[in-house]
A and B are shown apart, each in its own frame.
Chain A
């Protein structure tokens, strides 16, 4: 649980020494990932100086819209995308640019579940063969032992043992996602990167798979880095949430607190945009924002600023869409700083990258 980490989950390097942090399972510092876009155009910065950590047994949810870099962070941790700068530490070892040999060794403790249950299983291989794959690397098991392990894992994710002899085409999306989860758990990992694992599933099946993920976490003491765009899903499964916009961290904090009282204007906008499954609530929400933008009205204290200055690269990434933006937001990129005061329950666990965070926190 997040209670295990007494410090803000993600903070900028320099604002806080790293030595006195508890041993995190995954610790990312100032991660930057860029993609080339041809010779003329400058590279696209998909992840821009992101720091985060995941404690043992904890779920950290990464949310944001498409293009926020949330999936890229997961891929960088897995070594599927080259890192421009920054460090990724797993179990206290630097794996930022791990060699193929180190990655092979890591695969037993660091695993992944992808979004698309159709592309993530090889259609030409039986389920048994796919599940036994991670064991090939360890290479110490006999055929019999690995078949037993496959059967045990299938039972664990709620599939009949004869699943092993069949091909992916014979299963529905939900069943395939169970199989993908089983494959990830085969080598007994400590951290599983879940890249939109339930987005492609129907509501009733989505709930089944979400429960399975929660159950397995408890039983096997797993940590999840849970990447998703669906806020209610992330809230339900995560202990802490990290909100990303254009590759930068906007806000982070314990899931319930962040969802109940979002500080950053972007988080507020995201939460307000999710339609509530309650016609009454939706009607009043619509009335509240009629003609206005997607969040509560602008802070009255702010000087009029809209459109006075163009947003520069050095400014806040969200300034152009923000109703509270001041001139300073367009010139100075806000640091990710703790918000709120420490109270009896412990030190501050929330941070936001916003010049007006304290004003916004005070706003009802």
Chain B
């Protein structure tokens, strides 16, 4: 109440101000430099609106502010508080003491991580899997989009899209279950091999080929979905460019190289940046679900390390330290990739917007 009264007083005084100004301007035009032409006043209404005093805006917008409350509450409780909760990475955290009473131990947890071979294994696996994913997964949706876009028949195109998007909506548990039923030791592919008198192949349990299996699952689940954005970019390419190039004698591959790919450069770079920013989160559920069958040697990644060290093992601080390190490195990678994209003249994801 105390704050609202002066605000209201101020607001009423300022709301009346423009009207007095205009009346005085019309009543007594020659007042030195004061009166401005009407056109200029009309042009700057937007700026004047933005400068409205708090009280006026509050009375105008309080319902809108009320609408933000649930969302902001959610963000505070389930995003910003946990972000602050990352301080346990700098504590010797004890659940019964809580964050407020646990002892601070500086960078000790990170020193411990540095000395922990399991952490380095997890980091190595994460890097290997991320690299393999970037190399083998990223081009697949692009290639598929190019093929689908080249189809002339709409019916075939739509049928393929319907099938290809479906797996994106299945949970990882379901995807791994389907893979196990298909490629697992007792799955139907190995059943067929056995019936044909061949040795079954341990697709699902061989740690050496695990990165390939992971990429295969990723392609199965998400390649179709990732295709959407490329298809949208392809449909935005100006057809007259193709036509002109074809008239000048450019064949299929020259058109691909000189028109299609340059037109898609921005989108490709954008997706690449997002991919790089997300590179350390190689896919948490996918690994936790297969860690038992392949073994932690191949399937332990930073996220599963955090989970097993912290929640399962009770070493909360080490887990939080690993998680924090991962989050920070991820954000830095995202920022770095975006800066490089800016240098290359691409818009990237964060643009320096003027106005709006």
Q: Do chains A and B interact in one complex?
A: no
